[in-house]
Structure 1
Amino acid sequence: MFAVSLGDGAELRPLEPWRAEEFLAHMDRGREFIGQHVGLPDVTADLDSTRRWLQVYADRTAADTGRLYGIWLDGLLVGGVLFRVFNVSTETCEAGCWIEPAASGRGLVTRAVRVAIDWAIEERGMHRVEWQVSSKNTPSINLAKRLGMTCDGVLRENSPYRGVRQDTEVWSVLAPEWKAARSAARATT
């Protein structure tokens, strides 16, 4: 298995079905915090539903239509990054993330998403990486900005979340923009 160091005792690793108990414990620690804006806690309510959800992503990985990675901090699963959509024929993917409250504010998600986007663009040839986020999810919008994404627009009341319609902002970065920004960042270090 591979692990990519994110620095400060953190690693990015594949998140697979055999880690269901560990994932459920992580979700239980952060369920309320994570569930403010994303439905992940709702679909991983118990061990069986957690196994099923992790298997969906194992199947997507096998079919090359999605990916799922966990963020471990000092050996403890604290968050994750995923490609909810990964379409190699259109060279477009949609990234997302979550983190439990005890690990937020450390830059772990920013570093993990950068690693994932680098892989998608540099290794897999993706041209467009999307980020879809509730207009009320300020931390995730700020992450999109830190990643150099552009807001493409707002889908007004497009998605009911826990019974309330919400607006979804669509952010994106194109491969030439990502590569130019990464080259500029490397040149200044």
Structure 2
Amino acid sequence: MTERSSPRGPGRPRGGKPGDLRARILAAATAEFGERGYEAASMRAIARRAGVDPALVHHYFDDKQRLVAEVVEAPLRPDRLVRTALDGPLDGLGERLVRAVLTAWDSPTVRPAAVAALRSAIGQGPVARMLREFLRREIMHRIAERLDDVGDPGDAELRAELAASQVVGVIMVRYVLEFEPIASLPVEELVARVGPAVQWHLTGRPPGS
């Protein structure tokens, strides 16, 4: 009796070597993000451009956020950092955000590629546009949603952007410009100094009010 082969699971690779298929999907994602931006690009459209089944895209890349990280070779997932920081009480959110970001960027295996990704985001061209849309959707929007139930809901987005501007400023000075003494301060000292300012922007209330 002929031995039957085991059935393929959904999304398992077929029609090419795994490495080739993965590279084809990444090339298609780069083109799709470049032409349409992060918001308009879809996993289905990327699969169509790559000539593969959409389930195969999900097999190699869990979601669109993972694809963005792979396209720009980002060593960390800022959307996951923010999601973890948001998973807790509003009190202390500013400190959690600052601590999560600085702890990740302090890793010597993360910093070089993270700095390169940041420079791409503030540059010109389709990759820069895609990165900015990703950061706005997956970070700013998520923070603003968390702030809807505190302060004036009409300025939740403004408060989220003001808070983010504080964090991005520290990143630029500490990791890109490498100005002292900020470049050498311990993470917890920066958290203690910057966290309350970020919290103020998030809630719209000065510390101690």
- Using the size of structure 2 for normalisation, the TM-score is 0.28
Say which structure is richer in strand: 1
Higher relative CO (CA 8 A, sep ≥ 6), structure 1 or 2? 2
Question: Whose Rg is larger?
Answer: 2
Say which structure is richer in helix: 2
